[in-house]
Chain A
């Protein structure tokens, strides 16, 4: 089925346009995901767990009686916040680590241990608190929750970012900050400013033009097709966990640390995973811990905790609102930039500070090095809403919405092309400017979308309307762009530490590759197998001949590569040449014993063995190995750090064309060009898939998706896929993927990740295109028809204010909505 992949000994597999290695298994429905392992037929004795979720945005359980719940037929175990094993748990945070394995002591944000596992206090409507039950069926578990006698003390709540920052606002986590809802600065910081370069005020004073604006990126859901979950089973004092989290080592560490168990008593496995997109925090989510404790009361039976679709609205992209002030010379050179990031963190801190502080700090170095005077501030604020967390492109999307706006608005004010403003002001300290990679993605993007068609000055539709209906069509087109650095190159992945893989050569010549990483769909599995096949060409095997262990298992002992930073595509592949060399050397030594020939006179080429004194055409390797006495395998394990050479990073540009219906406010994305430089394209079909899927998700976030709360009750209104709209096949914009190899990284495969950056620049490009079409700027995502109509003075508010003039509004709402 995979014969379309290159033949062994022919063109390399790496960089090829091949099908995915797992495509047949997935297409035929054979690929197992968590829920497929956890059916009653396959998991004997399976029990179903269900957790009480707070019906209020802020409340505390003051009394709890579980006797009626325990009497529900089918209920096997009940665990509550009053049980000793729960009360004894340490406070935690659901983001111990961005991409490496971290222990409790070394978690990313020890200042924000604001989560209690199955605590008695709810901080958002939906919070898992108080009670979790295990029962023979899902229905019995839910019925038990219904039968609980819970007395709640409702508390004042706050949903809005600005209200939460006001003095006297209800405090969400007084144990973290007794003074207010803003996070205390993470040490060693003592204030909101996390980056200060040059003298910003001096820079503004020297600037010819200053622009100030605000952008707001909301909190889209990950929208993975597979909902979150885990299955836990005890065998004596040993715990086995199956999870849909995108790592295995981290949940093992987290469970072991929280439950105070040695690591060898916890085994974690990942089956296939139905989408991740940075749904990263489950490794350290309380639900893993309480499901494990619940299972301990179930006599060795497996216990499944799997969220339904509503519950799977569990954590989101961290929303960030930027207030930006920028100063530039008349030639477009930015002299000063001051950003204030405000993040509505929701009920728990998790990795919000990563989005508002850590990532922008990194981008400032990777992309914004030319800006001489820079100040960046972060304000992360607790509210009683769904927690923000990690989603594909964490922090970058939010910052790029502001950066794209900055390029566009500075260019507009100075009569320049935003492409030129980007070329002037972006780059990193390791590469001379203008950055070749930056220039290449901008050139490719602009050329392919037809950037020269873009009207230099945006349409001023509002003025036209003020003067009467002067346009012939109700639909207006516009072009916009934005640009960002990619991430990550190998040197940025050093904190991961060692990468480990194992190769097994069976005596019949077949190969098993253990390169553990959770398979979430990224395509890294194909990259790794292709690199393995290329390196093992001497064995005469192709990619289809290599068995790749798709499910992770911590008992196999190798460290897993967490599916973050879009970096796994090359990190494991990097080791393959060395692994192959070691395998060959071990094989030759083995053959020397079997053939009683000196090692230096033995060679293996394309699956045949040649040695002095042997037949001229050699002999098939398998034929020799299958005649050895023990029929054992040859196994090599290889490990190495990622190449440390600092190479900077390449860039990605998004160019978008939109068509806006000025009567309905509907925005259609007519075309997107996503041009990314990734140094080395590891897997072309996979790269195209990422470069198409990224902007598709981004356009959906920018135009369709939105979590809505009822301000009066503090309850979410649309935690379902009918009311929370995501792009379906019919909504997908046409995307042209462009994968370039201009920049060069270090190592055997000098690549940079591309999957996350593919999602980053499209929202800014779309917002700029809308401005180009209409002459109005919409700084707040999502850009809905209502907001467009309001901005054009045709919305409900405008019409209510001027009912007589609704047909021909005379009030120009201005460029600032």
Chain B
């Protein structure tokens, strides 16, 4: 409880608490609404990670330390990074949850982690078990800080563990994802402006995939 609060989860609202008492937890996960009944769909003591993995089949959520010490289980809950192994499912009642499955394969972070290969920095993943948690921690960071510096990435992801030691590649990937998102937003704005003025516009998606190389 305390760790999830520390990670940014607001206390349940009064109505959420009332529903939890009646044993119903409502989650909006990756844009889909779920109504989960305690005792039927989940046990009252189940963590959010357990419900996401076991009940909703979102196995991109990884549990590694099960103790809030490594960040592998991080999901984005109402825009904030939350350790899903340390959060009761019922605590997330009424919240919007984003897992790695909710990011498209053209999401700048997925693209950046998937294509990371920069001389002197290596790749952004090896075994890959920590990766979804890294991606989601970074997602929350980019929501707060759209174009983070390297220092801001290190600070924002300080608690995540990658035992393979891909840290430099991870930091570069997140910085690059921020830049990529910024470029896309710029192109999007340019296209909207172009639509208004009737000028031809580039395809933001294909431009972004060109940037992957």
Contacts and interface: CB of A to CB of B under 8 A. Distances in A.
Contacts of B135: 27, 29
Contacts of A26: 113, 125, 128, 131
Contacts of B212: 1, 3-4
A17 B111 CA distance: 17
Counting chain A CB atoms within 10 Å of each CB, the highest count among B120, B123, B159 belongs to B123
A726 B127 contact: no
A225 B64 contact: yes
B110 A722 contact: no
Given A28-B103, A522-B126, A692-B165, A23 B62 contact: no
A35 B63 contact: yes
B53 interface: yes
A22 B125 CA distance: 9
B57 interface: yes
Contacts of A690: 122
Given A23-B115, A688-B120, A41 B57 contact: yes
Nearest to A735: B168
A686 B155 CA distance: 26
B64 A226 contact: yes
Interface stretch (B4-12, B66-74, B192-200): B66-74
Contacts of B43: 139
Given A223-B163, A225-B129, A730-B159, A29 B99 contact: yes
A22 B159 CA distance: 25
A736 B164 CA distance: 16
Nearest to A733: B167
B113 A23 contact: yes
Contacts of A32: 59
A23 B62 CA distance: 16
B89 to A, nearest CB: 15
A139 B66 CA distance: 15
A416 to B, nearest CB: 32
A312 to B, nearest CB: 9
A685 B167 contact: no
A92 interface: no
A277 interface: yes
Counting chain A CB atoms within 10 Å of each CB, the highest count among B118, B120, B129 belongs to B129
A614 to B, nearest CB: 36
Given A29-B60, A29-B100, A225-B129, A1 B111 contact: yes
B54 A41 contact: yes
Contact of A686 (B99, B114, B122, B129): B122
Given A28-B110, A522-B126, A689 B166 contact: yes
Interface string A677-718: 000000011101111111111000000000000000000000
B70 A29 contact: no
Interface in B100-114: 100-101, 103, 105, 109-111, 113-114
Contacts of A36: 53, 59
A729 interface: yes
B24 to A, nearest CB: 21
B171 interface: yes
Contacts of B127: 224-226, 272-276, 520-521
Interface of B: 43, 53-55, 57-70, 72, 99-101, 103, 105, 109-111, 113-132, 135, 154-155, 157-171, 209, 212-213
Given A689-B166, A730-B159, 20 more contacts: A1-B115, A20-B123, A20-B125, A23-B115, A23-B116, A25-B128, A27-B113, A35-B59, A36-B59, A222-B163, A226-B129, A274-B64, A275-B126, A688-B123, A693-B165, A696-B167, A721-B65, A722-B67, A726-B161, A730-B154
